[in-house]
Amino acid sequence: ASAASLLAAARAGDEAEGAGPVLIDGSDNFVTKFAVADLAVAAGLRHVIAGVSRYGGQVFVGAPGAACYRCLFEGPPDDDAAPSCAEGGVLGAVVGAVGGLAARAALALADGDLSAAGTVTVLADLRRSSELRVVRFAPRPGCPACTAAAEPPVPALEERP
């Protein structure tokens, strides 16, 4: 799907007070993850970026005004630095666990709960522990995505005509 069709679909979402559309990424491609995150920041949309590698995974939650994906990860890794799921392998139970965390985060965002915005939830190794680590981080000064989104400002979806 093109960025324009993703954005149009997101804007067609629930218009209830406090609620709104959420972009969700669960791709196995870092370039796609960064493209979705950049689109969400530029358009002022709430978003969830989920990923799995072998026995662990993470869920990033973003919303306007919070730290973005590029605040945490400056850019995609080199192709040979991070294997795809097909190359590195993944444990099916981890995909289910991370998918459930991503769905819960997306539902909360869609319902207007922004308390997890600017966090990443990490499941380090499901073989050893099911303990989750939630890390909240601040916007990175000079972040190119946040800077680009700030000029010109993108009004919140609820403020758009």
Express each pLDDT in 87-98 by its tens digit.
888 889 999 999
Bigger pLDDT: 102 or 15?
Answer: 102
Task: Please report which confidence band the pLDDT of residue 48 belongs to, taking 50, 70 and 90 as the band edges.
Answer: very high
**pLDDT tops 90 at residue 82:** no
Express each pLDDT in 89-128 by its tens digit.
888 999 999 999 999 999 999 999 999 999 999 999 999 9
**pLDDT tops 80 at residue 139:** yes
**pLDDT tops 70 at residue 152:** no
Average pLDDT, the chain: 83
Strands 56-62 and 119-123: antiparallel
Distance CA 149, CA 68 (A): 11
Look at the alpha carbons of 99, 102, 104, 110 in this order and tell me if their dihedral is positive or negative: negative
